[in-house]
């Protein structure tokens, strides 16, 4: 089960970098040669700002936020997702739920979310996109950020080649979209004190840059109906974040984000 957890992390994290060059006609080899340092820089921007599970737990403890079972998508909903789009978005959602359950050491829920994630990974046939050694490598390097950056950067190339050769770049972006939406939903609904916690406010405010990147990547695949529908799903949130100035956010904007992400999330989880 632990291996499934790290496999899911690999899928969601590498989905971002795989899709960065999704529209390129260059070979994977040429792309690697040209973009290696750029990829490393991008990986660092994602890996380094992420708080550790301990830091997240401490933050939630400071605002006295207890684990809220109803915030997460119930594992039994997994059979509700039929299409490739529904399964990919749900996989992203369950990935965020798995992280949330792990933060609070919810053992049974961790197992449940690992099981449904494994089911969706297999049904989407994504497992073949991952370096067969990536799980063990991530496990061994989880406390070494420099090593983790190197592992993800190197894995980018083989993953890029596989997904694009098999026309799966759009699917990886749907997984990433589901994960982003669920994480923002949890962050904005976890406690009534969220809007009074500077750390949580900063995390929510800083999602503007991440959403801008995500929308830019989705645009590359907008000719695909599933991606176009996901862009439409994210557009209300995108419009709200466009009104936010760098380094500041109002209480109304926070509420608007919370309301909009709930609408988007409800359309995914069913």
Share of the chain above pLDDT 70, in %: 67
Mean pLDDT of 191-220: 85
Q: How far is CA 70 from CA 64, 74, 97, 100, 185, in A?
A: 17, 8, 11, 12, 12
Question: pLDDT by residue (tens digit) across 21-31?
Answer: 433 333 334 33
pLDDT confidence of 16, banded at 50, 70, 90? very low
The larger pLDDT score, comparing residue 5 to residue 139, is at: 139
pLDDT confidence of 20, banded at 50, 70, 90? very low
Q: Is the pLDDT of residue 73 over 70?
A: yes
Q: Is the pLDDT of residue 38 over 60?
A: no
- Name the packing angle between helices 251-269 and 225-242 (round to 10°): 170
Q: pTM of the full predicted structure?
A: 0.77
Closest CA to 112 of 123, 101, 126, 96: 101
Map out the domains of the chain as residue ranges: 2-269
246: exposed, middle or buried (C-beta count within 10 Å: 0-12, 13-18, 19+)?
exposed
Backbone angles phi, psi at 223, to 5 degrees: -75, -15
194: exposed, middle or buried (C-beta count within 10 Å: 0-12, 13-18, 19+)?
buried
Cα distance between residue 251 and residue 105, in whole Å: 31
Question: pLDDT by residue (tens digit) across 235-267?
Answer: 999 999 999 987 889 999 999 999 999 999 999
């Amino acid at each position: 089960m632990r291996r499934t957890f790290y496999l899911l992390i690999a899928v969601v994290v590498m989905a971002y970098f795989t899709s960065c060059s999704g529209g390129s006609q260059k070979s994977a080899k040429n792309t690697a040669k040209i973009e290696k340092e750029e990829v490393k820089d991008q990986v660092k921007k994602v890996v380094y700002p992420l708080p550790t599970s301990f830091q997240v737990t401490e933050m939630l403890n400071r605002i006295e936020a207890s684990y809220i079972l109803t915030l997460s998508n119930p594992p039994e909903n997994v059979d509700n997702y039929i299409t490739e789009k529904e399964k990919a978005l749900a996989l992203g959602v369950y990935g965020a739920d798995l992280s949330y359950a792990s933060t609070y050491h919810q053992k049974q829920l961790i197992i449940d979310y690992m099981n449904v994630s494994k089911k969706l990974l297999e049904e989407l046939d994504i497992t073949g996109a991952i370096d067969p050694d990536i799980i063990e490598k991530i496990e061994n390097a989880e406390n070494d950020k420099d090593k983790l950056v190197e592992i993800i950067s190197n894995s980018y190339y083989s993953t890029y080649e596989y997904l694009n050769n098999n026309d799966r770049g759009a699917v990886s972006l749907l997984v990433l979209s589901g994960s982003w939406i669920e994480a923002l939903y949890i962050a904005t609904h976890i406690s009534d004190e969220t809007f009074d916690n500077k750390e949580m406010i900063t995390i929510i405010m800083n999602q503007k840059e991440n959403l801008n990147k995500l929308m830019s990547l989705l645009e590359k695949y907008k000719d695909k109906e599933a991606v176009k529908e996901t862009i439409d799903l994210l557009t209300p949130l995108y419009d709200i974040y466009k009104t936010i100035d760098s380094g500041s956010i109002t209480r109304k904007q926070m509420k608007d984000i919370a309301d909009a992400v709930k609408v988007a999330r409800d359309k995914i989880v069913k």
